[in-house]
Chain A
Amino acid sequence: MDEFARLPDEVNELLNSFVSQPAIQTEHITITQYSLAMFIAVAILLVVLFVFKKKQSASLVPKGRFVNGVEYVIEFAKKDLAQDMLHSSWRQHFPFIATVFFFILINNLLGLIPGFHPGTGTIGVTLALALISFLYFIYVGIKKAGALGYIKSLMPKGVPFPMNIMVWVIELFSTFLRLITLSVRLFCNMFAGHVVMGTFAILASLFIERFAQGVTLEAFTGAGISILWLLVLIAIYIVEMLVAAIQAYVFTLLTSVYIQIAEED
């Protein structure tokens, strides 16, 4: 089984392809493969939304699969992500929450197309997204209680004097930790999923290469093993489709939970 001996080199090559590289390079601007995927995702999102708006306003009753499908996803985001979490003030925060949700969702799904890298598969994009939602919920908290009031509201009520200072420090620390957990969760999910899928794709392609030496019994066993790896790859691909949707959901859900916590105090 010298195929397994060749695996580490191939995986290293795969990992190198995940490092940001210029995909489009001109004199002044360089666009990495991740930025390119992100731009394509935003373009797709805009086209879908404009076509949806045009088709929706064509008739009073929503007609056709496309309009109903988009409406279903928006209704889902409205109910599960905004109304259930934020209750009365959901209307005010829904534009922000929906923007984050659809941006991440389209990026994650675009990354599933073979050959594409997801826009969210790099720590730069996810950290920027986490920073935006971090600033947003800090802004909501400050608008609600004032700068000093928000910092003070992190201190729990009803805790005796020396302990509440300690709890306050821990709470402040964990508030800043949200920035890291939000970004690292999304990044790791996308990165790890693609590395696992890539590894199984490499295994499938390594075993089928035995045919290059001639059609022998060994080549046919290689093809059999290759089909086995391919089945595993398909299973992981289905799981990754689920993960792409769930991670967009989790990121947005946590954002709205944080907004709700900031607003509540």
Chain B
Amino acid sequence: MGVIGYGIGVIGAGLGIGIAAYGATTAMARQPEIQGRLFTVFILASAFVEALALIGFVVSLLA
């Protein structure tokens, strides 16, 4: 059951990273000159999203 719960939880994180990458690539295509700044923000955002998935992973291992 825990594994199924983790699978459901990861859907959210996957959507989150997908939306972040979509936004970053679209913005980079529109304005290549702010690529460096955008990349920093993208990495930060995906770290936030990824943390949720990893918390789920650890909790499903421990519980």
Contacts and interface: CB of A to CB of B under 8 A. Distances in A.
Interface of A: 15, 80, 84, 181, 184-185, 188-189, 191-192, 195, 246-247, 249-250, 253-254
Contact of A188 (B43, B44, B57): B57
B51 to A, nearest CB: 4
Contact of A253 (B40, B50, B51, B57): B40
Residue from A188, A195, A254 with most neighbouring chain B CB atoms (10 Å) = A188
A184 B43 CA distance: 17
B40 A188 contact: no
Contacts of A181: 51
Q: Is the interface of A mostly helix, strand, loop or mixed?
A: helix
Given A15-B61, A195-B61, A189 B43 contact: no
Nearest to B57: A192
B51 A188 contact: yes
A250 B61 contact: no
Interface of B: 37, 40, 43-44, 47, 50-51, 54-55, 57-58, 61
Contacts of B61: 15, 195
B13 to A, nearest CB: 12
Nearest to A11: B61
Contacts of A84: 37, 40
A192 B58 contact: yes
Q: Is the interface of B mostly helix, strand, loop or mixed?
A: helix
Nearest to A80: B40
Contacts of A195: 57, 61
A94 to B, nearest CB: 17
Residue from B43, B51, B57 with most neighbouring chain A CB atoms (10 Å) = B51
A244 B37 CA distance: 21
A210 B44 CA distance: 45
A84 B25 CA distance: 22
Given A15-B61, A253-B40, A188 B55 contact: yes
B43 A246 contact: yes
B53 to A, nearest CB: 9
Contact of A254 (B37, B44, B58): B44
Contacts of A15: 61
Given A80-B40, A253-B40, A185 B57 contact: no
Given A184-B51, A188-B55, A250-B44, 20 more contacts: A80-B40, A84-B37, A84-B40, A184-B55, A185-B54, A188-B54, A189-B50, A189-B54, A191-B58, A192-B54, A192-B57, A192-B58, A195-B57, A195-B61, A247-B47, A249-B43, A250-B43, A250-B47, A253-B43, A254-B44
